[in-house]
């Protein structure tokens, strides 16, 4: 570290020019990321819903599993009027010329009366895109909307593109807009905090420059990697949030050490080198801890989560590189403009330091009381975490001005909300049989009748509808070739050419995010396991609700292995850095308490609704599974930052004095101000994300902000000094280590 710092100080202009060239090269790619970033919706590979999607796309053509519903409404003309039918026919003809459209179904060409609205002035048009994935279907939504806007509808008619793909398309677009709003609030607040800490605009600007450089470089990295690992829109948001928070934190710790060195009378170069010597190792280890947390996300079976992992690792790497190379060079060039003379000459035993010393000594005099208070506070906040309920994002989480939300409201009012993401069953005959066999036909019709009797299912269409249209003559049919000519086209989207695979579509009466919809998926899958043993075919359950359910299952199942990896990785990292057994174990235990307290806070706010109205938040009644997973991986690393900075200072004091208690008091007192400032920066940044935009984004931002505040107060001011006082010299014990 010392050699690196001296090299940066020796040739500062070379370093700055190198960074300017690197940032200039990266800028076009970083700016392009917003245009290539994709949505965050996908079926979990290997899940039942993914298998259904692949089967249907293979047997019935690409896009079969990604039909986009378009709600057509009229102010004056009823759907029974021939003018309404003619308008739909004209629209179908125009859209049919688009190469991205594989098929269009509506009440008039599919013979499905359920595609007509109950109000008598609306109709549902199902557009099948030529796509193979949910992400491609999201892109198609934008294309379809642009085409409808360009072609236009006759006066008095309106079209609303909705469905699950449209919902995720709007969620991602809205998330990008909210990111800009949050930055517009968070960045100025961060500058204010930094200015209050250092009393110079130059120091505040340098810290923000480090963070901005990290964000720009990592955004470029995501863009360049997009060809083999598609970047998600959420990855772009996380890169910005974490890059700004961690980058300013790391710069803040180096700048604080530089200020201390200057206050002791060190020369410019020696002060910079001394700052890197003292803060550099701790910054590096802290960064590795956060990067390791992001690396654990590669254990999750979801590619868009992998893009988050790549973005998190790259932004931390950029923040470390800028802190350890660019910042020393800038400090050399800006000289004493970074620190005000009054601050540089301030005595280290100021009234603030004495105040922190008094607090630390008071806690260490009664360590059990301090730990007891910390346990009580942690329990009060963390206890609700044990009753966390899953909450799934749905159309109601979108503002009413979004098109997919308006379409959802129309579906709920005039059709069925389940059209947002119908349940799709892939029926597959046993080897040597086809679904045209009479016994299988009867079993399919019995299954359809059972589904129609379910109070949560409104419509059952697909292969059962084809069999019902044939009437008693169906048992004479042995293949699609024997169908009457009017039904041949209908059969192409209901049963495969070889007759071994068919599709059954069930439209629920409830929305895809509803608990009853998820329960419906569970019961159908239990039934499929039973029916496979008793009838001549088996069926798998997929579709929109099943995709959301399988995603939640994968997120919650991943928590255990992700937690295990992060905890073990952190323990090994801290063991090597601190050369101690007790310190890593204590730090991990404290961080786990922080995470649990953050979960409990979110449960109280977003599940129970306590305080939600005061913050202008809609309480959805649970936590998003993805937020639960991401909060742990990020929180564990970020809250470890303060542990590492604090404990490294305590260790340095211990090595000099050998006084176990005194080193804790001096270490905490000397870092208290800067850790508080760093926490304030994080709270401003993360909190700004918590007060703008969608519910999931708010859960993420407020969860991070609460955890940082909890760690900087309860953990640092109570748990650390009390625990280290009780352990005494055992804090630094390592088997086989000398002295």
Distance between CA atoms of 268 and 262, rounded to whole angstroms? 7
pLDDT value at residue 347: 44
Q: No. of H helices and E strands in the chain?
A: 26, 8
- H or E segment at 504? strand 501-508
Distance between CA atoms of 295 and 309, rounded to whole angstroms? 6
* Mean pLDDT within 244-270: 85
pLDDT value at residue 367: 87
pLDDT value at residue 529: 61
Label residue 476 left, alpha or beta by phi (over 0 means left) and psi (-120 to 50 means alpha). alpha
Of 501, 516, 544, the residue that ends a domain is 544
Q: Are 448 and 327 found together in one domain?
A: no
**pLDDT grade, residue 423 (50/70/90)?**
very high
**Of 160-174, 224-238, 408-422, where does mean pLDDT reach its minimum?**
224-238
Residue 273 falls within a domain, yes or no? yes
Q: Which domain holds residue 267?
A: 1-36+200-339
pLDDT value at residue 641: 76
Q: Are 330 and 224 found together in one domain?
A: yes
Q: What is the pLDDT of residues 429-446, one digit of tens each?
A: 988 889 999 989 999 999
pLDDT value at residue 122: 95
Of 544, 572, 595, the residue that ends a domain is 544
Cβ-contact 676, 249 below 8 angstroms: no
pLDDT value at residue 597: 93
Residue 566 falls within a domain, yes or no? no
**pLDDT grade, residue 7 (50/70/90)?**
confident
Instruction: Report which of residues 230 and 533 the model is more confident about.
Output: 230
pLDDT above 70 covers what percent of the chain?
Answer: 95
Of 301, 321, 339, the residue that ends a domain is 339
Distance between CA atoms of 438 and 74, rounded to whole angstroms? 44
| pLDDT score of 173 more than 50 | yes
The CATH number assigned to the domain holding 279 equals 1.20.1640.10
pLDDT value at residue 388: 87
Q: Are 223 and 321 found together in one domain?
A: yes
pLDDT value at residue 586: 87
| pLDDT score of 63 more than 70 | yes
| Three-class DSSP category at 349 | coil
Q: Are 437 and 539 found together in one domain?
A: yes
| pLDDT score of 271 more than 50 | yes
Cβ-contact 164, 398 below 8 angstroms: no
The CATH number assigned to the domain holding 426 equals 3.30.70.1430
Max CA distance (Å), the chain: 100
**pLDDT grade, residue 344 (50/70/90)?**
very low
Beta-ladder partners of 137: none
| pLDDT score of 323 more than 90 | yes
**pLDDT grade, residue 506 (50/70/90)?**
very high
* Mean pLDDT within 143-155: 89
Beta-ladder partners of 501: 428
| pLDDT score of 345 more than 60 | no
Distance between CA atoms of 436 and 447, rounded to whole angstroms? 15
Cβ-contact 611, 602 below 8 angstroms: no
**pLDDT grade, residue 348 (50/70/90)?**
very low
| pLDDT score of 371 more than 50 | yes
Q: Are 235 and 334 found together in one domain?
A: yes
pLDDT value at residue 739: 46
Distance between CA atoms of 724 and 722, rounded to whole angstroms? 6
Cβ-contact 79, 120 below 8 angstroms: yes
| pLDDT score of 531 more than 90 | no
- H or E segment at 6? helix 2-10
Distance between CA atoms of 157 and 91, rounded to whole angstroms? 12
Distance between CA atoms of 730 and 733, rounded to whole angstroms? 5
Angle, CA of 674, 680 and 681, to the nearest 5° = 95
pLDDT value at residue 534: 59
Distance between CA atoms of 439 and 151, rounded to whole angstroms? 49
Cβ-contact 57, 64 below 8 angstroms: yes
Residue 128 falls within a domain, yes or no? no
| pLDDT score of 590 more than 70 | yes
Cβ-contact 674, 252 below 8 angstroms: yes
Q: Are 427 and 534 found together in one domain?
A: yes
Q: What are phi and psi of 442, to 5 degrees?
A: -65, -40
pLDDT value at residue 322: 94
Distance between CA atoms of 561 and 297, rounded to whole angstroms? 10
Closest CA to 624 of 608, 606, 637, 598: 606
* Mean pLDDT within 580-607: 89
List C-alpha distances in Å: 363 to 378, 585, 673, 718, 725.
Answer: 17, 21, 18, 7, 9
* Mean pLDDT within 214-232: 86
| pLDDT score of 193 more than 50 | yes
pTM of the model: 0.83
Query: What is the C-alpha R_g of the chain?
Result: 30
* Mean pLDDT within 666-677: 79
Residue 589 falls within a domain, yes or no? no
- The helix, strand and coil proportions of the chain, stated in percent and rounded to the nearest 5, come to 70, 10, 20
Instruction: Report which of residues 552 and 502 the model is more confident about.
Output: 502
Residues in CB range of 479: below 8 A, 6 or more apart? 434, 436, 499
Q: How many domains does the chain have?
A: 2
Directed axis angle between helix 268-295 and helix 233-263, to 10°? 150
pLDDT value at residue 216: 93
Residue 715 falls within a domain, yes or no? no
List C-alpha distances in Å: 293 to 245, 635, 687.
Answer: 16, 9, 21
pLDDT value at residue 668: 81
* Mean pLDDT within 111-137: 90
**pLDDT grade, residue 22 (50/70/90)?**
very high
pLDDT value at residue 346: 46
Residue 483 falls within a domain, yes or no? yes
| pLDDT score of 250 more than 70 | yes
CA dihedral of residues 197, 202, 204, 206 (deg, nearest 10): -130
| pLDDT score of 39 more than 70 | no
Instruction: Report which of residues 316 and 390 the model is more confident about.
Output: 316
pLDDT value at residue 737: 57
Distance between CA atoms of 393 and 508, rounded to whole angstroms? 17
Residue ranges in 579-624 assigned as alpha helix (H): 582-602
Q: What is the mean pLDDT of the chain?
A: 85
- H or E segment at 37? none
**DSSP letters along 58-76, please?**
HHH-TTGGG-EEEEEEESS
Residue 154 falls within a domain, yes or no? no
CB atoms within 10 A of CB 658: 11
Residue 224 falls within a domain, yes or no? yes
């Amino acid at each position: 570290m010392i050699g690196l710092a001296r090299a940066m100080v020796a040739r500062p202009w070379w370093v700055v020019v190198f960074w300017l060239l690197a940032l200039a090269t990266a800028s076009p790619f970083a700016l392009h990321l917003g245009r290539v970033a994709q949505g965050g919706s996908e079926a979990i590979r290997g899940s039942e819903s993914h298998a259904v999607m692949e089967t249907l796309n293979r047997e019935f053509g690409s896009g079969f599993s990604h039909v986009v519903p378009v709600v057509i409404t009229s102010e004056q003309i009823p759907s029974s009027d021939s003018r309404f039918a003619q308008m739909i026919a004209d629209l179908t003809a125009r859209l049919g010329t688009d190469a991205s459209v594989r098929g269009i179904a509506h009440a008039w060409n599919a013979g499905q009366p359920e595609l007509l609205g109950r109000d008598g002035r609306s109709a549902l048009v199902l557009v099948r895109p030529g796509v193979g994935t949910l992400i491609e279907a999201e892109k198609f939504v934008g294309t379809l909307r642009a085409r409808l806007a360009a072609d236009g509808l006759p006066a008095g008619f309106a079209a609303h593109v909705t469905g699950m793909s449209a919902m995720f398309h709007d969620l991602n677009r809205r998330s990008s807009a909210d990111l800009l709003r949050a930055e517009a609030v968070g960045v100025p607040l961060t500058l204010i905090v930094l200015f209050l800490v250092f009393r110079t605009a130059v120091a505040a600007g340098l810290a923000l420059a480090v963070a901005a450089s990290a964000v720009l470089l990592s955004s470029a990295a995501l863009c360049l990697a997009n060809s083999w690992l598609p970047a998600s829109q959420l990855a772009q948001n996380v890169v910005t949030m974490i890059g700004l928070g961690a980058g300013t934190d790391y710069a803040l710790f180096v700048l604080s050490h530089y200020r201390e060195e200057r206050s002791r009378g060190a020369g410019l170069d020696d002060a910079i080198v001394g700052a890197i010597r003292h803060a550099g190792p701790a910054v590096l280890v802290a960064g590795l801890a956060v990067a390791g947390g992001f690396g654990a996300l590669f254990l999750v079976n979801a590619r868009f989560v992998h893009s988050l992992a790549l973005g998190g690792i790259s932004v931390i790497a950029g923040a470390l590189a800028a802190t350890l190379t660019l910042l020393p060079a800038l400090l050399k060039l800006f000289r004493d403009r970074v620190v005000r003379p009054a601050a540089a000459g301030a005595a280290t035993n100021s009234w603030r330091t004495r105040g922190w010393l008094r607090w630390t000594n008071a806690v260490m005099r009664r360590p059990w009381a301090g730990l007891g208070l910390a346990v009580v506070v942690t329990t009060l906040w963390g206890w609700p975490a044990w009753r966390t309920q899953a909450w799934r994002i749905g159309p109601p989480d979108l503002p009413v001005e979004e098109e997919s939300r308006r379409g959802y409201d129309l579906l709920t009012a005039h059709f069925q909300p389940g059209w947002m993401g119908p349940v799709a069953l892939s029926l597959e005959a046993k080897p040597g049989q086809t679904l045209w066999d009479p016994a299988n036909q009867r079993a399919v019709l019995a299954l359809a009748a059972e589904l129609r009797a379910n109070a949560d299912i409104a419509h059952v269409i697909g292969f059962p509808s084809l069999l019902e249209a044939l009437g008693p003559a169906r048992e004479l049919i042995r293949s699609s070739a024997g169908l009457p000519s009017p039904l041949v086209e209908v059969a192409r989207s209901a049963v495969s050419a070889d007759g071994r695979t068919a599709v059954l579509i069930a439209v629920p009466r409830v929305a895809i995010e509803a608990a009853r919809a998820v329960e419906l998926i569970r019961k159908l899958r239990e039934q499929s396991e039973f029916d496979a043993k008793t009838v001549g075919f088996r069926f798998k359950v997929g579709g929109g609700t099943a995709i959301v359910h399988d995603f939640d299952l994968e997120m919650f199942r991943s928590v255990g292995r992700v937690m295990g990896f992060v905890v073990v990785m952190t323990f090994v990292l801290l063991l090597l850095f601190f050369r101690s057994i007790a310190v890593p174990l204590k730090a991990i235990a404290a961080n786990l308490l922080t995470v649990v307290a953050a979960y409990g806070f979110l449960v109280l706010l977003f599940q129970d609704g306590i305080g939600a109205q005061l913050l202008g938040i809609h309480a959805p009644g649970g936590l998003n599974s993805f937020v639960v997973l991401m909060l742990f991986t990020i929180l564990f690393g970020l809250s470890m930052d303060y542990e590492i900075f604090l404990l490294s200072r305590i260790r340095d004091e211990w090595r000099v004095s050998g006084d176990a208690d005194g080193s804790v008091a001096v270490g905490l007192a000397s870092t208290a101000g800067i850790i508080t400032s760093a926490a304030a920066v994080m709270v401003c940044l993360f909190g700004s994300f918590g007060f703008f935009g969608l519910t999931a984004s708010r859960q993420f931002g407020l969860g991070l902000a609460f955890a940082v505040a909890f760690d900087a107060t309860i953990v640092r001011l109570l748990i650390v000094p009390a625990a280290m006082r009780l352990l005494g010299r055992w804090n630094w014990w390592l088997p086989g280590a000398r002295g």
